[in-house]
Amino acid sequence: MGPLKYLAMQRIDGEHRADVVRLVSGSATIDSLERPRVRELLRLARGEREFWGERTPGEGALSQLNLTVRYVGMLASCLVLAGHGWWLVALVVLPSMLCRWMWRREFTAGLALDRTGLAHEIRARHWTQLATEWTGGKEVRTFGLATWAANQARKATLAQCAPAWAAGERSARRQWLPAVLIGPSLMAAYVLVVLDTVQGRGTVAGMTALFAAAWSVLTALGYADAHEIEGALPGLAAMGKLTQELEMRDHTSPRPGGGKLREGRPVIRFENVSFHYPGTDRPVLKNLDLTLYPGELLAMVGLNGAGKSTLIKLLAGLYRPTSGRITANGTDIATLEPAEWRRHLAIVFQDFVRYPLSVKDNIALGRADTAREQARLESAAHDAGLAELVSMLPSGWETPLSRSRTGGVDLSGGQWQQVVLARAFYGVRSGVDFLVLDEPTAHLDVRTEFDVFQKITDRRGDTGVVLISHRLSTVRAADRIILLEDGCVTENGTHDELMARRGTYARLFTIQARRFRAGYDDRMEEEAS
Ligand SMILES: Nc1ncnc2c1ncn2[C@@H]1O[C@H](COP(=O)(O)OP(=O)(O)OP(=O)(O)O)[C@@H](O)[C@H]1O
């Protein structure tokens, strides 16, 4: 492929990818992204070649251009043939068109067949990556999984190829058909032209021109470019369908953008909120009522799967309640412009993203919409206990946090958690109203956790803090603790109040404290002996 053609293709694909990102990120919530149909449309629309038949929009567009040029050439060739006789055009064009139609049919059937094998291909790729990449390499070696992973990959590849192989065999057996369709008519055309020339009704030069014209019609109607165009069409069609799918929403839920947040720091109320994830009917939250006050440090505790992270996602407007509503100063947050509303929150999700960017970018993304301030970056890093680490990195703030980048480094799980905390603190220092932390210190050592928690408690008053944690020793200093059980708030109060109630919180706290005490006593005994 020529460099110019490659550049043109890259530009078209780049624009297309930007359109996909704009389209998808324009959707206020993320629930549609969970629908299998949307995920498949998105995969197609992204125009990434997952199997041989798929092509990017850029490849399709350039092939379309190529085909148009060839059709113009074909038209000129038809005129040359028509100069000798219109019957000659019919003799060459009709069988070629028939062949093209057959090839097209076969190709589209092959594409559809290949798509059915995609799940197997994804599986094969997964096992191959697991066995050959650095991240999976540890477990593959320690568990002795290499042979097993190789077999899984092989099995999946064979399962993917079997139907396509059978279709390929059937198609190979039919290869005589185009030869039978085109060969005799082309031969007849050539013989008739030669006869005419021999009988003095044409010249040798004219005969050669007719031969060349007939061949050019044949090749113009060939299917080489059409493969590329056909392979790109599903991706383009998926964009339209994706737009419809993303716009499809519950008509009863209010449209964002109509509401206005009243002045003052927001008081957030969950009013009788119930929620189940799309595609499931198990309620995660049930008629939940909860108020979040500005400046308050609220801790949220509960067993695994109680719905704590889900509540945070609803607060961020990433999902809408199935019933009930969430208000800020009395306004339903579903009616607010989503980006506007989210500017009031700085959130650390449990499954945070590790961007393969510099440490500076990783932190500044906590407020990507404002100009960067080095002083603010440094304070955020200091609050998260990250300042020393940054000073030790090979290129300081500019060090990429990924070994796949030149000069990049890999951080430990705890260090990443500090980076993500710094990202949230950066948002806080830019003036958010609520800092929401979902298990922010799970990977931190006790000393760092203590320091970070101190910084968080120092912030209360200026910023409301919602802290989810399984370490109950961390949450006891909160202004208020709520216990989430089975989708409802079952306990609500200060640590002392909840301990006095002798309910679930008191039981959980006592178990953790006893374990900690036992570990501490063992260590003391060891040290003493
Ligand atoms: N995207 C999803 N689709 C369907 N169900 C989900 C989804 N995310 C979470 N769930 C389910 O919702 C329930 C609550 O999950 P959630 O993550 O909110 O719990 P949690 O209290 O944060 O748990 P943990 O303490 O383990 O982090 C779980 O049963 C979980 O399986």
Residue 492 Cβ contacting ligand 1 at under 6 Å: no
Residue 29 Cβ contacting ligand 1 at under 6 Å: no
**Cβ atoms of 199 and 21 closer than 8 Å:** no
Ligand 1: residue of 29, 31, 270, 277 to mutate (most ligand atoms within 8 A of CB) is 277
Residue 244 Cβ contacting ligand 1 at under 6 Å: no
- Centre of ligand 1 to C-alpha 404, Å, is 32
- Centre of ligand 1 to C-alpha 127, Å, is 27
| Mean per-residue pLDDT of the chain | 85
Beta-sheet pairing, 323-328 with 331-332:
antiparallel
Mean pLDDT within 459-476: 84
What is the CATH architecture of 266-344+461-524? 3-Layer(aba) Sandwich (3.40)
User: Domain residues of the chain, as ranges?
Assistant: 3-247, 266-344+461-524
| pLDDT score at 499 | 93
Q: Among 51-60, 246-255, 376-385, which range has the highest average pLDDT?
A: 376-385
Q: Distance between CA 520 and CA 135 in Å, rounded?
A: 35
Look at 193 and 529; give whichever has higher pLDDT.
Answer: 193
Q: Distance between CA 382 and CA 448 in Å, rounded?
A: 11
Residue 276 Cβ contacting ligand 1 at under 6 Å: no
Q: Distance between CA 438 and CA 313 in Å, rounded?
A: 10
Which pLDDT band holds residue 465 (cuts at 50, 70, 90)? very high
528 pLDDT above the threshold of 70:
no
Q: Distance between CA 381 and CA 360 in Å, rounded?
A: 10
Q: If you take atom 17 of ligand 1, which residue's CA is the nearest one?
A: 309
Mean pLDDT within 58-82: 89
- Which ligand 1 atom minimizes the distance to the CA of 306? 21
Homologous superfamily assigned to 3-247: ABC transporter type 1, transmembrane domain (1.20.1560.10)
Question: What does each C-alpha distance from 330 to 59, 211, 285, 294 come to in angstroms?
Answer: 52, 81, 21, 14
Q: Distance between CA 43 and CA 139 in Å, rounded?
A: 29
- Which ligand 1 atom minimizes the distance to the CA of 311? 18
| pLDDT score at 400 | 92
| pLDDT score at 1 | 61
Structural element, H or E, at residue 301: strand 297-301
Q: Considering only 221-230, 297-306, 465-474, which range has the smallest mean pLDDT?
A: 221-230
Which pLDDT band holds residue 398 (cuts at 50, 70, 90)? very high
- Centre of ligand 1 to C-alpha 470, Å, is 15
Look at 224 and 356; give whichever has higher pLDDT.
Answer: 356
Ligand 1: residue of 31, 309, 313, 483 to mutate (most ligand atoms within 8 A of CB) is 309
Q: If you take atom 4 of ligand 1, which residue's CA is the nearest one?
A: 277
121 pLDDT above the threshold of 80:
yes
- Centre of ligand 1 to C-alpha 310, Å, is 6
Residue 305 Cβ contacting ligand 1 at under 6 Å: yes
Q: If you take atom 9 of ligand 1, which residue's CA is the nearest one?
A: 310
Same fold, 3-247 and 266-344+461-524: no
Question: What does each C-alpha distance from 26 to 20, 84, 239, 242, 285 come to in angstroms?
Answer: 10, 60, 14, 12, 27
Structural element, H or E, at residue 69: helix 57-84
Q: If you take atom 31 of ligand 1, which residue's CA is the nearest one?
A: 305
- Which ligand 1 atom minimizes the distance to the CA of 307? 18
| pLDDT score at 251 | 44
- Centre of ligand 1 to C-alpha 403, Å, is 32
Q: Is 337 helix (H, G, I), strand (E, B) or coil?
A: coil
Residue 487 Cβ contacting ligand 1 at under 6 Å: no
Residue 304 Cβ contacting ligand 1 at under 6 Å: yes
Mean pLDDT within 239-256: 70
**CA 340 from centre of chain:** 23
Indicate left, alpha or beta for 374 from its phi (over 0: left) and psi (-120 to 50: alpha): alpha
506 pLDDT above the threshold of 50:
yes
3-state secondary structure 400-467: ECCCCCCCCCCCCHHHHHHHHHHHHHHHHHCCCCEEEEECCCCCCCHHHHHHHHHHHHHHECCEEEEE
- Centre of ligand 1 to C-alpha 386, Å, is 30
Q: If you take atom 3 of ligand 1, which residue's CA is the nearest one?
A: 277
- What is the predicted ipTM? 0.97
